Chain A
Amino acid sequence: MVNPTKHVGQPMKRVEDPRLIKGIATYVDDLRLPGMLHAAFLRSPHAHARIRRIETGAAKAMPGVVGVFTGADVNDQCGVVPCAAAIPDLKAPKHTVLAGERAYFAGHPVAVVVAQNAYVARDAADAIDVDYEPLPVVTDPERAIAGGSPLTHPELGTNVAYVHSVSSGDIDEAFRGADRVVRQRMVHQRLTPMPIEPRGCVASYHPGDQTLTLWSSTQVPHLVRTLLPGMISVPENKLRVVAPEVGGGFGAKLNVYAEEALCAHLAMRLGAPVKWIESRRENAAATIHGRDQIGEYEVAVTRDGRVLGIKARSVADLGSYLQLLTPAIPTLTGLVLTGCYKIPAITMEIVGVYTNKMATDAYRGAGRPEATYLIERLMNLIADDLKLDPIEIRLKNFPQPDEFPFHTATDLQYDSGNYQAALKEAQRLADWPALVRQRDDARAAGRLFGIGVSTYVEICGMGPSKAMPAGGWEWGCVRIEISGKVTVITGVSPHGQGEETSFAQIVADRLGVPIGDVVVLHGDTNIAHYGRDTYGSRGLVVGGPAIVMCIDKIIAKASALAAHLLSVSVDDVEFRDGRFVEKKKPDNSVDWARLAGEAYIAKNLPPAFEPGLEASSFYEPENFTYPFGTHIVAVEVDRETGDVKIVKYVAVDDCGVQINPLLVEGQVQGGIAHSIGQALFERTVYDENGQLLTGEFMDYPLARAHDIPDYVMGSTVTPSPGNPLGAKGVGEAGTIGATPAIANAVMDALGPLGIRHLELPLTPERIWRAIGQHAGVAAG
């Protein structure tokens, strides 16, 4: 037998890291092609304006400028930016690659300059004179659907893109039978994903082969290859998309953007490679944003804290147009709004709204952080109203471990779970009784000290094809090379998740080869012909089983060859620690090097044996996976300044079987860092004229090293029964579990002052004002 745990389960350092740390990795901006030209975009400074005239003469006349293109030059030759979300009765604007008659958000590309270098391109973009007629702007989604609002797209006649309803169980009965109804309005602020590497691409056309290669800083090279042929006139089989090293995505690069199509189009049109590298400011203004939901929530509960039903109505700000999954993201919120609780009835209405802002789309967690924040805040509000312990009320509503697979009111089938165990483990790690004493002592001394708990379940391993817009399977290929070395090719496209390491761990154990002999390739559609890429915590969970299937096929094939070489029947051969062994005579064996040599030299093969040792597979998941966990946070609030200090942070995450605990910990830590930002200070701000005021790191606060507390990390392991690895995925857990835990802790700290709820982010000023108001003293 193989030893499946020699590498799997070990906290191995990432094989990716040395090249990243040494600065010798190749990102898009590192690419230099002969004759390469540089593109720069001119973007609308207006949030909404009619474009009366674009004067490009001065720009075109500048030395080094190869071309200047406006919407009139390209929009009839490039298809519109695609949206893959299928929502009934969706009203959608036709979003062309460059603005046509109108620009409808600040940052909307209006013209593109191509020049011999990036400096001239930028200078020439400045020399373009656009005559704008400003039009009325709407930035507030609630105002956008009230009467008399300016319209983001007059041709649609409304700012409402869609109304989506989720409904299950007898909601009226739930509210009739309730002892109490808890209500709260909650706002999920807009956030900017801000990967450290902005977007960028290089497009190169080979006129002889008529092939186009697009290198792009993307999470989804295969989706780009699927969708780009609909925008430019290159067939899929003449198109190669490469995601080289990608410096973070967080969902922002789970998209097909206008700039990618335009650079491809211009490379063909101009007969030269075209490079475009996004600036930070462009990234803030014209790469998708996340969250931005406002809602009213009502929960029907019994006196003893059982939740009978939830009524929710939320307004989701989609921004000014639809990117790949824009309208689908808020609907995910409805899907997991019941959280990790047995809630028999739910109704949620989501209104997707257009405003003159950048499009929202998938940002780390995508819909689930919203839902988790809502339900976890609501659970605390219920506990407050009923004067019950927040832990007790959670335990009261959890499904029992033996109730899994657990069917939710929203028609999800939670694969496996033991929510009680994760909660208990978190309490143990937090030293709960001591933490409570610490709070009691602090309060007795007049300090504002709070403890917050969040329990969560989320949807990972996206996903079953029937539930995904364009297939949710994954593809993989494993090849034993003639030398016995192993090449693994995956259709997922890691950009920080570490699958070069975790897949090598799986393969080394299952094939019994040294891990150093395994190379994992990805991110190039000419190498990984098919794939559905990386998002929704799917890389390991869906990509991994495809690799396992390949390994099983190869071992089966190799067994036949081994039997032939060992002159025994297949039934007498056993695969053990990287060798195929005659069961009764263990010293009669062959290793991979010998097998591979024979398989490729092909002079001594069994009858009907295909040469080579390679297998590829498509893995189709039957269900999503549902990781879960508990986060416990203790904070102290500075009564005078409103500053929040995280005193203790405990995270217990159950992502099923862990292939590499170090990678798990890294993912959770990064996610919590995102959440600290969301909970305490991050927000994307547009002014009432639609100007983006958080367009640089000068004004958009990401969590920095000194904002991060010491984490106490733990885990429980409840394998997923749905895949051969038992893994559930962990890319988004931190962002989902942490925000409500921090918010609950801050609100617990402020509770003694009579403060019931504050919106995110819980900035010092917001807290200071609330303290002032509740102290009966006018703030300021």
Chain B
Amino acid sequence: MIPATFSYARPTTIDEAIALLTKHGSGAKVLAGGHSLLPAMKLRLAQPEVLIDIGRIAGLNTIAERDGRVVIGTMATHAEIESSALVARACPLLGQVAARIGDAQVRNRGTIGGSLVHADPGADFPAAILALDAELRLASPRGSRSVKAAAFFEAMMQTVVQPDELLFEITVPKTATSAAYVKSEQKASGFAICGVAAIVDAQAKTVAVGVTGVASKPYRATAVEAALRGRALTPDAVAAAAALAANGVEPLGDIHASPEYRAHLAAVNTKRAILKAVAQG
């Protein structure tokens, strides 16, 4: 459990971090909470030449309200999101998801930004940020840009973040309480075999469903959403629509869950998440 040699930099501003990323290119890795990166380094599966620790950049863990949206700094830990009064009031789904991540130690160190950029297919937050239509704000030498959650994840552990870019904040719209996260966890790692985040808008008669853990990248269950648009959310209607939760995706299979079981859980957890969201509304 000894990593290969690396050098370590600890910038104090975003600009400084971007300059370091620009200088070191793909040889550099950004260290946020380190809960995925450090184990990979200790196993020598990851051997970055430079580690850029963004933990000392002031303000990166801020959780605040701005322009009618909730803004979450990339270094906000799962525990901070779980216990934030603002999140509980203005976007409770994120708090619910944060509470289901790993265990207390992981939640105290792990960060939302680190989790999103690492893009583990079993990570919990992606389900929520997809359902919430979050915007992810990236800084680079070219300035900053916003990426919609739906466009952020490219493939397993791959996102649109370029080697010289840094995800610095996530913004989500304020949402009502009609939201729920239902998760089946991989017993060893605590990652999701299937995690479903659902948001129900009773007035607009729409649901938004984000699914993680099932496929190589998280996705919106658009078939489910379409089937329920404008419909009354009765248990039967929801169950029928939820059966479409893995439509068009190629489910992952491993020693913890077969593709068929993941697809099945997608349907069950989607049904449960929507009904739970309805019940909370």
A and B touch in the complex (CB under 8 A): yes
Does B5 belong to the interface (CB within 8 Å)? Answer: yes
Give chain A residues whose Cβ lies under 8 Å from the Cβ of B260: 779-780
A contact face: mostly helix, strand, loop, or mixed: loop
In the assembled complex, the CB of B42 is this many whole angstroms from the nearest CB of chain A, namely 8
Tell me if B261 and A699 are in contact (CB < 8 A).
no
Contact with B along A187-215 (1 / 0, CB 8 A): 00000000000000000000000000000
Tell me if A699 and B43 are in contact (CB < 8 A).
no
Give chain B residues whose Cβ lies under 8 Å from the Cβ of A373: none
Tell me if B188 and A698 are in contact (CB < 8 A).
yes
Give chain A residues whose Cβ lies under 8 Å from the Cβ of B261: 764-765, 768-769, 780
Of B75-83, B110-118, B251-259, the one with at least 4 CB within 8 A of chain A: B251-259
Does B159 belong to the interface (CB within 8 Å)? Answer: no
Contact with B along A682-720 (1 / 0, CB 8 A): 000100000001101111111011000000000000000
Does B187 belong to the interface (CB within 8 Å)? Answer: yes
Contact with A along B249-274 (1 / 0, CB 8 A): 00000011110110111001000000
Does A681 belong to the interface (CB within 8 Å)? Answer: yes
In the assembled complex, the CB of A39 is this many whole angstroms from the nearest CB of chain B, namely 12
Give chain A residues whose Cβ lies under 8 Å from the Cβ of B263: 780
Does B189 belong to the interface (CB within 8 Å)? Answer: yes
Give chain B residues whose Cβ lies under 8 Å from the Cβ of A648: none
Tell me if B187 and A701 are in contact (CB < 8 A).
yes
Please name the residue on chain A nearest to B272 by beta carbon.
A640
Contact of A698 among B1, B189, B257, B264 (CB under 8 A): B189
Complex CA–CA separation, A281 to B2 (angstroms): 12
Give chain B residues whose Cβ lies under 8 Å from the Cβ of A696: 39, 43
Q: List residues of B (145-188) whose CB comes within 8 Å of A's CBs.
A: 184, 186-188
Give chain A residues whose Cβ lies under 8 Å from the Cβ of B258: 765, 780
Does B9 belong to the interface (CB within 8 Å)? Answer: no
Please name the residue on chain A nearest to B267 by beta carbon.
A640
Give chain B residues whose Cβ lies under 8 Å from the Cβ of A769: 261
Does A280 belong to the interface (CB within 8 Å)? Answer: yes
Complex CA–CA separation, A231 to B221 (angstroms): 63
Instruction: Using known A-B contacts A279-B1, A701-B187, determine if residue A126 contacts B44 with beta carbons closer than 8 Å.
Output: yes
Complex CA–CA separation, A702 to B188 (angstroms): 7
Does B103 belong to the interface (CB within 8 Å)? Answer: yes
Tell me if B189 and A123 are in contact (CB < 8 A).
no
Tell me if A699 and B189 are in contact (CB < 8 A).
yes
Tell me if B103 and A123 are in contact (CB < 8 A).
no
Please name the residue on chain A nearest to B194 by beta carbon.
A641
B contact face: mostly helix, strand, loop, or mixed: loop
In the assembled complex, the CB of A628 is this many whole angstroms from the nearest CB of chain B, namely 31
Complex CA–CA separation, A575 to B268 (angstroms): 72
Q: List residues of A (559-617) whose CB comes within 8 Å of B's CBs.
A: none
Does A520 belong to the interface (CB within 8 Å)? Answer: no
Q: List residues of A (80-119) whose CB comes within 8 Å of B's CBs.
A: 118-119
Tell me if B103 and A281 are in contact (CB < 8 A).
no
Tell me if B184 and A681 are in contact (CB < 8 A).
no
The tally of residues in A whose CB lies under 8 Å from a CB in B reads: 31
Please name the residue on chain A nearest to B44 by beta carbon.
A126
Does B4 belong to the interface (CB within 8 Å)? Answer: yes
Tell me if A697 and B264 are in contact (CB < 8 A).
no
Contact with B along A129-152 (1 / 0, CB 8 A): 000000000000000000000000
Tell me if A704 and B2 are in contact (CB < 8 A).
no
Does A357 belong to the interface (CB within 8 Å)? Answer: no
Complex CA–CA separation, A355 to B187 (angstroms): 28
Give chain B residues whose Cβ lies under 8 Å from the Cβ of A704: 103
In the assembled complex, the CB of B34 is this many whole angstroms from the nearest CB of chain A, namely 15
Does A368 belong to the interface (CB within 8 Å)? Answer: no
Contact of A118 among B2, B4, B184, B257 (CB under 8 A): B2
Please name the residue on chain B nearest to A682 by beta carbon.
B187
In the assembled complex, the CB of A502 is this many whole angstroms from the nearest CB of chain B, namely 32
Instruction: Pick from A119, A681, A764 the residue with the most CB of B within 10 Å.
Output: A764
Give chain A residues whose Cβ lies under 8 Å from the Cβ of B255: 685, 693-694, 699
Does A275 belong to the interface (CB within 8 Å)? Answer: no
Instruction: Pick from A643, A768, A779 the residue with the most CB of B within 10 Å.
Output: A768
Tell me if B188 and A700 are in contact (CB < 8 A).
yes
Contact with A along B228-265 (1 / 0, CB 8 A): 00000000000000000000000000011110110111
Contact with A along B26-59 (1 / 0, CB 8 A): 0000000000000100011000000000000000
Does A122 belong to the interface (CB within 8 Å)? Answer: yes
Give chain B residues whose Cβ lies under 8 Å from the Cβ of A118: 2
Complex CA–CA separation, A279 to B1 (angstroms): 6
Contact of A119 among B2, B184, B187 (CB under 8 A): B2
Please name the residue on chain B nearest to A638 by beta carbon.
B268
Give chain B residues whose Cβ lies under 8 Å from the Cβ of A698: 39, 188-189
Tell me if A123 and B4 are in contact (CB < 8 A).
yes
Complex CA–CA separation, A280 to B43 (angstroms): 10
Give chain A residues whose Cβ lies under 8 Å from the Cβ of B186: 701
| 18 contacting pairs across A/B (C-beta < 8 A) | A122-B2, A123-B5, A126-B4, A126-B44, A280-B1, A281-B1, A281-B43, A685-B255, A694-B255, A696-B39, A697-B189, A699-B256, A701-B186, A701-B187, A705-B103, A763-B187, A765-B257, A765-B261
Told that A279-B1, A697-B189, A768-B261 touch, could you supply 15 new A-B pairs with CB distance under 8 A?
A122-B2, A126-B4, A641-B265, A641-B268, A694-B188, A699-B189, A699-B255, A699-B256, A700-B188, A764-B261, A765-B257, A765-B258, A768-B264, A780-B258, A780-B260
Interface residues of chain B, those whose CB is within 8 Å of chain A, are: 1-2, 4-5, 39, 43-44, 103, 184, 186-189, 255-258, 260-261, 263-265, 268
- Across the A-B interface, the 9 shortest Cβ-Cβ residue pairs: A780-B260, A701-B187, A701-B188, A122-B2, A279-B1, A681-B187, A765-B261, A640-B268, A698-B189
